[in-house]
């Protein structure tokens, strides 16, 4: 990142820094710097940190007829000090103390004894808190599951002509949740009818559809309903089906089981049903309007069911089913929309910021529909949309939660914000005792104290305050830069910082060294494949420093040790970095750069190596004795 110089001027700062004989001036042009410290922090066991959820409550269906007589809503968090818990139902605090017989706490878990629908059904939230703040768990619903018996009334017989279609209605009893599965019993349990091309049981309404009734269909039918959530099943009264002999001439397909406009969640499995009555029994075909069917689509149940696994956005569209026999056809189509639960694009992290600083806390979520964003602070609604602080205060500290929500649900991102108040100190980032700079080069002396609020800064050399000039800049990060360094720049440099909590200073010594120079640069070399080439490089440098040579080919470092078959350093002579290219191949051609480098500076020089191909030609000389010759060159006179 390119540094930006400080251009604003500071006139009165000298009065603050008249320390230890420092000569002050009120002249304009004295540079000053506001240092802004901030970081994402790691939770510290010694200093303590706010709660972090390790387990949150989940949606629960409690069977009304359960013999257990207890529901547990789980919640567990860690933090230092250890968190305390409380629970809310429908946004009202649950008073554990006054309802000990009904509610109890085991760790953070809420135990509900002898649950009752009128008293306990609702949305539950766990709050975990300590001295650092409060976090709120996801909402978890507690619902009471039930599947009532069918009414005992006798069902009327269904008389239907052979060759004609029939529908036996299930009419399931009241139930919750709506996750029923359906089968039909023929005459005696557990004799379930076998589904085939002619018979289908809709898993949407439970009805039994017979495309073309046959004499063998005669019997008593009962709808068998199972609630998967509460593992309970019930039977309907038997419905007699009485086929009546008839020479039916057949009839057109009539789609009786169809799918509605469907909204699916990204990644879900989606099931579409389509079944038709007809004689002959219709064939069912599926397609997607103007688009190929998804690769994950699968047709089953003799064509009556289309299942799309792990549905994606590109699977959205209009789906069609067509029922056809030789009498004709029937069609049905409906749109399938793919939406998505909220998902984090960028979530919040524990953050430490200086008091008085600006702060934007980015929190971004995707979803379809696009989620709305809101914020909680210590479990209480705080803000909607983008969260920005123009000047942080100590009271802004706490546990924050970013909540993304759409019609499909909500997700939480939790983090702790600490607002730092600290007198300037160099304890965490001390200045270097010495900084080396080459004459004619650049020197950068860093000054990065930890302080909050942001301190004001001034540099001095000896007793003279340093001002911005054509050669000297004080940058926004507090660094002092000197360009075109001379021997006269050597000396002690002190960085003074102060905020309303205190002051500090630190000193470093700038030492100047002779610049590194290449005195014998490599020159362009032209060789034939298989020959050796020498790239010369001789440098001068400061005697107090070590010098190393690095060679680059087309900008990439050459690993001489790894490729010692083709590269070799000349016999080591001080300040000599000569490179020998052995048995040169075409791939060795290119631009070679010699880098003479010390810990302070470096110098470079480049030259090109051209490697020419060695082409062999066969030719025959005809004469008294025919001879075949091979040579690198053919000369024809």
pLDDT tens per residue across span 360-404: 999 999 999 999 999 999 999 998 888 999 999 999 999 999 999
Average pLDDT over residues 345-350: 94
- Give the range of the structural domain holding residue 447, as residue numbers without chain letter: 13-38+423-513
80, 153: one domain: no
Is residue 28's pLDDT more than 60?
A: no
Burial of 200 (0-12, 13-18, 19+ CB in 10 A): buried
103, part of any domain? yes
Query: What are the phi and psi torsion angles at 516 (to 5°)?
Result: -80, 135
347, part of any domain? no
136, 159: one domain: no
Name which of 143, 98, 99, 95 is nearest 123 in CA terms: 143
398, part of any domain? yes
Report CA-CA distances (Å) from 630 to 477, 518, 611: 70, 45, 22
Average pLDDT over residues 67-88: 94
400, 454: one domain: no
The rounded distance, in Å, linking the Cα atoms of 637 and 627 is 18
To the nearest whole number, what is the mean pLDDT of the chain? 87
138-155 pLDDT per residue, tens: 999 999 999 999 998 989
4, part of any domain? no
Residues 6+ apart with CB under 8 A from 218: 241, 242, 243
Is residue 29's pLDDT more than 60?
A: no
Report CA-CA distances (Å) from 632 to 76, 585, 616, 617: 83, 17, 5, 6
Per the listing, tokens 């002690």 go with: 492
The tokens for 226 are 């199972």
Report CA-CA distances (Å) from 221 to 154, 189, 208, 234, 461: 12, 10, 9, 14, 101
199, 139: one domain: no
127, part of any domain? yes
Q: 54-58, 321-325, 467-471 — which is least confidently predicted?
A: 467-471
331, 360: one domain: no
The rounded distance, in Å, linking the Cα atoms of 141 and 124 is 6
Q: 72-81, 168-177, 459-468 — which is least confidently predicted?
A: 459-468
Looking at 280, 311, 340, the residue that finishes a domain is 340
What pLDDT shows up at residue 574?
Answer: 75
What pLDDT shows up at residue 636?
Answer: 26
499, 576: one domain: no
The rounded distance, in Å, linking the Cα atoms of 423 and 274 is 74
130, 165: one domain: no
Long-range contacts, 125-128 (Cβ 8 Å, 24+): 125/57, 125/87, 125/88, 125/91, 126/56, 126/57, 126/73, 126/75, 126/85, 126/86, 126/87, 127/85, 127/86, 127/87, 127/88, 127/379, 128/51, 128/53, 128/75, 128/77, 128/79, 128/83, 128/84, 128/85
614-629 pLDDT per residue, tens: 755 444 444 444 444 4
213, part of any domain? yes
What pLDDT shows up at residue 559?
Answer: 93
Provide, rounded to the nearest whole percent, the portion of the chain with pLDDT above 70. Answer: 89
CATH of the domain at 73: 2.60.40.10
332, 308: one domain: yes
Is residue 312's pLDDT more than 70?
A: yes
635, part of any domain? no
The pTM (predicted TM-score) of the whole model is 0.70
Average pLDDT over residues 588-605: 95
Is residue 11's pLDDT more than 50?
A: no
Highest mean pLDDT among 202-206, 544-548, 621-625, 630-634: 202-206
630, part of any domain? no
What pLDDT shows up at residue 622?
Answer: 44
362, 406: one domain: yes
Average pLDDT over residues 522-535: 95
Q: Which residues lie across from 460 on neighbouring strands? A: 465, 494
Q: How many helices (H) and strands (E) does the chain have?
A: 1, 60
3-class DSSP state of 631: strand
Report CA-CA distances (Å) from 21 to 24, 25, 88, 462: 9, 13, 65, 10
Rg (CA), the chain: 42
Sort residue 290 into left (φ over 0), alpha (ψ -120 to 50) or beta. left
Name which of 353, 414, 390 is nearest 53 in CA terms: 414
Is residue 15's pLDDT more than 80?
A: no
3-class DSSP state of 601: coil
Looking at 244, 269, 289, the residue that finishes a domain is 244
What pLDDT shows up at residue 250?
Answer: 84
599, 524: one domain: yes
Q: Which residue has the higher pLDDT, 597 or 246?
A: 597
60, 75: one domain: yes
The rounded distance, in Å, linking the Cα atoms of 507 and 430 is 9
Is residue 631's pLDDT more than 90?
A: no
Report CA-CA distances (Å) from 514 to 436, 482, 573, 612: 10, 16, 20, 41
Domain total of the chain: 6
Residues 6+ apart with CB under 8 A from 355: 392, 393, 394, 419, 420, 421, 452, 453
Query: In 100-195, which ranges are continuous DSSP H helix?
Result: 117-120
What pLDDT shows up at residue 463?
Answer: 86
What pLDDT shows up at residue 564?
Answer: 85
314-334 pLDDT per residue, tens: 999 999 999 999 999 999 999
What pLDDT shows up at residue 245?
Answer: 87
Q: 29-43, 241-255, 444-458 — which is least confidently predicted?
A: 29-43
233, 259: one domain: no
Residues 6+ apart with CB under 8 A from 43: 49, 52, 80, 350, 416
Residues 536, 559 contacting (CB under 8 angstroms):
no
What pLDDT shows up at residue 31?
Answer: 35
The tokens for 53 are 């959820």
What pLDDT shows up at residue 523?
Answer: 95
pLDDT band of residue 40 (cuts 50, 70, 90) is: low
Residues 435, 170 contacting (CB under 8 angstroms):
no
Query: What are the phi and psi torsion angles at 390 (to 5°)?
Result: -80, -30
Q: How many angstroms from the chain centroid is the CA of residue 187?
A: 57
Name which of 131, 365, 420, 367 is nearest 375 in CA terms: 365
199-238 pLDDT per residue, tens: 999 999 999 999 999 999 999 999 999 999 999 999 999 9
Looking at 513, 532, 555, the residue that finishes a domain is 513
pLDDT band of residue 351 (cuts 50, 70, 90) is: very high
């Amino acid at each position: 990142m390119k540094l930006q110089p400080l251009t604003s001027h500071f006139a009165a700062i000298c009065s603050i820094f008249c320390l230890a004989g420092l000569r002050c001036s009120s002249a304009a042009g004295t540079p000053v710097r506001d240092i802004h410290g901030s970081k994402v922090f790691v939770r510290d066991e010694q200093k303590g940190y706010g709660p972090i959820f390790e387990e949150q409550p989940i949606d629960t269906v409690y069977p009304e007829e359960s013999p257990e007589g207890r529901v547990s809503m789980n919640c567990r968090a860690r933090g230092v000090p250890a968190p305390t818990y409380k629970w809310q139902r429908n946004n009202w605090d649950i008073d554990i103390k006054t309802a000990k017989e009904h509610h109890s706490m085991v760790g953070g878990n809420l135990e509900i004894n002898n649950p009752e629908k009128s008293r306990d059904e609702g949305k539950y939230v766990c709050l975990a808190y300590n001295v650092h703040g409060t976090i709120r768990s996801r909402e978890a619903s507690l619902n009471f599951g039930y599947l009532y018996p069918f009414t005992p009334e006798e069902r009327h017989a269904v008389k239907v002509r052979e060759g004609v279609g029939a529908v036996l209605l299930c009419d399931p009893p009241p139930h919750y949740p709506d996750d029923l599965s359906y089968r039909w019993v023929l005459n005696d349990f557990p004799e379930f009818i076998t589904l085939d091309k002619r018979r289908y049981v809709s898993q949407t309404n439970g009805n039994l559809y017979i495309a073309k009734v046959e004499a063998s269909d005669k019997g008593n039918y009962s709808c068998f309903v199972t609630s998967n959530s509460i593992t309970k099943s019930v039977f309907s009264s038997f419905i007699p089906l009485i086929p009546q002999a008839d020479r039916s001439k057949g009839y057109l397909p009539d789609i009786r089981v169809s799918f509605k406009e469907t909204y699916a969640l990204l990644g879900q499995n989606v099931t579409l049903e389509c079944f038709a009555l007809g004689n002959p029994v219709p064939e069912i075909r599926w397609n997607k309007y103007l688009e190929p069917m998804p690769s994950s689509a699968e047709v089953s149940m003799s064509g009556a069911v289309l299942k799309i696994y792990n549905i994606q956005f590109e699977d959205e569209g209009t789906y069609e089913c067509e029922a056809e026999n030789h009498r004709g056809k029937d069609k049905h189509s409906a749109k399938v929309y793919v939406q998505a639960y909220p998902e984090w694009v960028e979530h919040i992290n524990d953050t430490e910021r200086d008091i008085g600083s600006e702060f934007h806390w980015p929190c971004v979520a995707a979803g379809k529909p696009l989620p709305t964003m809101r914020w909680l602070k210590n479990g209480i609604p705080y803000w909607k949309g983008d969260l920005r602080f123009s000047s942080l205060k100590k009271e802004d500290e706490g546990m924050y939660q970013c909540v993304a929500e759409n019609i499909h649900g909500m997700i939480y991102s939790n983090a702790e914000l600490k607002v730092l108040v600290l007198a300037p100190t160099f304890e965490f980032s001390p200045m270097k005792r010495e900084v080396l700079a080459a004459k004619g080069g650049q020197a950068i002396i860093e000054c990065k104290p930890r302080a909050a609020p942001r301190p004001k800064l001034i540099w001095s050399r000896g007793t003279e305050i340093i001002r911005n000039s054509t050669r000297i800049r004080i940058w926004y990060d507090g660094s002092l830069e000197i360009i075109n360094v001379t021997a006269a720049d050597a000396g002690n440099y002190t960085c003074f910082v102060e905020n309303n909590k205190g002051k500090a200073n630190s000193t470093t010594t700038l030492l100047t060294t002779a610049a590194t120079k290449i005195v014998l640069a490599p020159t362009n070399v032209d060789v034939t494949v298989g020959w050796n080439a020498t790239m010369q490089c001789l440098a001068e440098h400061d005697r107090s420093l070590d010098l190393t040579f690095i060679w680059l080919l087309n900008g990439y470092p050459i690993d001489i040790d790894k490729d010692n078959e083709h590269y070799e350093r000349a016999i080591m002579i001080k300040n000599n970095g000569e490179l020998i290219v052995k048995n040169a191949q075409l791939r060795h051609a290119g631009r070679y750069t010699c880098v003479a480098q010390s810990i302070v500076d470096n110098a470079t020089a480049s030259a090109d190596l051209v490697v020419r191909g060695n082409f062999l030609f066969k030719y025959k000389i005809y004469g008294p004795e025919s001879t075949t010759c091979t040579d690198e060159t053919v000369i024809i006179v």
